[in-house]
Amino acid sequence: MAKIKNPKSFSEVFKLDSTILLSKGIFDPVLNVDTKLFIDPVLLQKSSSKYFREDVLRVYEEHYNNMISLLEESKEVNDIAWRSAKNLIQRKEVDGTCLGYGVNSTSGRSITSKLQEMLVKTAKEIVDIGIKKPELFILLPLFESGVGPDTISDITTAAIQESLYKFTASLAAELGVKTTRINFRGEEIEVIKNPLKKKFSPIILLPKDVLRELPFASTWDEIHDVSFFNHELRMRVNKYIGDIWKAKTKKEKARELAKIKNSKNAIEVLIELINSTDVKPYDFVMDKNGVFKWREILASVAKEYPISLKYSEKNTSGLVEVVKQIIEQFKFLIEDRGLCKLLWKEKNKPNHESVSQMLFFSTAYSYCKANNIDISPEMDTGSGCVDFKFSSGFNKRVIVEIKHSYNSNIISGFEIQLNLYKKAEETCFGFYIVVDVGHLGKKYDKLIKMYNESEKKADLIYIDGEVKESASKRR
């Protein structure tokens, strides 16, 4: 299970002023928690870094041009050229970017052999109709459900891996950070070692302007949205691929996808759309997905809104009481001090539940650290697992689970899951927090009824996540 206990940023670990990285436009990664961002190959040529615009982009294009040449040579599945092209798709995720979906999985995940084979097969089909541009690999998620946008980021990173190490080594020299010499593909190179990992793991530093929430053109919805703004291109999009949005069933969609994949005109229109669209990197200032703000909370909330946690009793009731104080402060920060703004991407569009969870973790960790009490809030990021576990000693444990009001499992979470967690973790008490960001309906009434009829082994907490208008606007 992936767990967060003590998140540390690169600048914190290496005792650097984070504003130095900011001034250089470099992303300051958390070294033991993956950030949900990805390298977007479309952004390489748009980066403010000359090294990325020229050297890295050249390496990227050479890598995929080599693969295209091999696919051209291939006459049948699994011949020498086919296998050579397949080997250019590295199966293991590049270690050290600290990016991706897997929190605390900075050691990397793997692309399955089946997925690797699927990528080659689809690319070969597109090459065979006459498309011989590296951009064709960006389009693969559109045609194969098993190929996710994270996969495109992974294979992009693998293609430019050596260049990323060299870029990081150059930055290390500028920052005065010690490097370690390793052998990489027969060449001696310098890398920064991640001191938070038991097993050797490098650190890769990246410009912020090559990072995005998801690589561009990952979904047909995004293709539809961007084509809307260019009348001439929209006409060609509608002509060659417009029927994909008319498909009502899976069978109809599969038929349309097959048509597009076998149409040189359709693929060329998609590539033109990629090259003509002003793709933007992730906005770290607005931070609509909350991938960065939780770190600011971690560093500042206890200083800005100090509270004195009372944990005089080293027993179960004392642990429950201190966790309750943290929850009450979290509720106060959301409802009365504007933290609710981070729960929304935009008006009427709430963020993912994980944003609230990360904000709560930041709040809890910050207050425990500031009060120097022997409690370690631990966030479990495994699917379907307890969100948080507070422990003191071996037997005293308290769990906290957070649900957004739109979550369809909000009732079963309280009725079934929490009790199972308590049994599995030998937990002495639990808190179930409902953050209201709309679509709660009568679900909370059901929760209250269940709570009133329960043995009161878990508290039910309601938090209003709505953004309130300022007093001046209400006049």
- The 10s digit of each residue's pLDDT in 86-103 is 999 988 878 899 998 654
Alpha carbon distance 447, 436 (integer Å): 13
pLDDT tens-digit series, residues 251-294: 999 999 999 999 999 999 999 988 888 899 999 988 888 888 88
Alpha carbon distance 340, 357 (integer Å): 13
The whole-number pLDDT of residue 189 equals: 94
| Range name among 38-47, 74-83, 145-154, 440-449 with the lowest pLDDT average | 145-154
Chain mean position to CA 27: 14
Helix, strand, coil % (nearest 5) of the chain? 50, 15, 35
| Range name among 224-238, 239-253, 420-434, 448-462 with the lowest pLDDT average | 420-434
Alpha carbon distance 253, 235 (integer Å): 20
Mean pLDDT, residues 186-209: 94
**Is the distance from CB of 116 to CB of 52 less than 8 angstroms?**
no
Neighbours of 108 (CB within 10 A): 17
The whole-number pLDDT of residue 6 equals: 79
The whole-number pLDDT of residue 418 equals: 59
- Taken as a whole, the chain contains a residue count of 475
pLDDT greater than 50 at residue 370: yes
The whole-number pLDDT of residue 195 equals: 94
Name the average pLDDT for the chain.
Answer: 86
**Is the distance from CB of 31 to CB of 106 less than 8 angstroms?**
yes
pTM score, whole prediction: 0.83
| Range name among 147-151, 405-409, 415-419 with the lowest pLDDT average | 415-419
Neighbours of 189 (CB within 10 A): 17
- Using a pLDDT cut of 70, give the percent of the chain over it: 88
**Is the distance from CB of 175 to CB of 157 less than 8 angstroms?**
no
**CA within 13 Å, CB half, 24:** 17
Angle between helices 250-261 and 113-128 (to 10 degrees): 60
**Is the distance from CB of 329 to CB of 307 less than 8 angstroms?**
yes
| Range name among 291-305, 365-379, 383-397 with the lowest pLDDT average | 383-397
Q: Two tokens at 433?
A: 């927090």
Q: Where are the beta strands (DSSP E) in 156-306?
A: 180-184, 187-193, 202-203, 211-212
The whole-number pLDDT of residue 3 equals: 65
pLDDT greater than 90 at residue 299: no
pLDDT greater than 80 at residue 344: yes
The whole-number pLDDT of residue 61 equals: 96
- Using a pLDDT cut of 90, give the percent of the chain over it: 49
Q: Two tokens at 16?
A: 């650097």
From the list 275, 292, 404, 285, the residue with the least C-alpha distance to 343 is 404
Alpha carbon distance 9, 30 (integer Å): 4
**Is the distance from CB of 186 to CB of 120 less than 8 angstroms?**
no
Q: Two tokens at 103?
A: 């929190």
Residue with tokens 């980066």: 47
Residues with Cβ within 8 Å of residue 438, at least 6 apart in sequence: 348, 350, 405, 406, 466
The whole-number pLDDT of residue 468 equals: 79
The whole-number pLDDT of residue 34 equals: 86
Q: Is the torsion defined by CA of 97, 103, 108, 111 positive or negative?
A: negative
Mean pLDDT, residues 292-306: 87
Where do the H-state alpha helices sit in 262-292? 264-276
Residue with tokens 């090259």: 275
Alpha carbon distance 415, 408 (integer Å): 13
H/E run at residue 404: strand 396-404
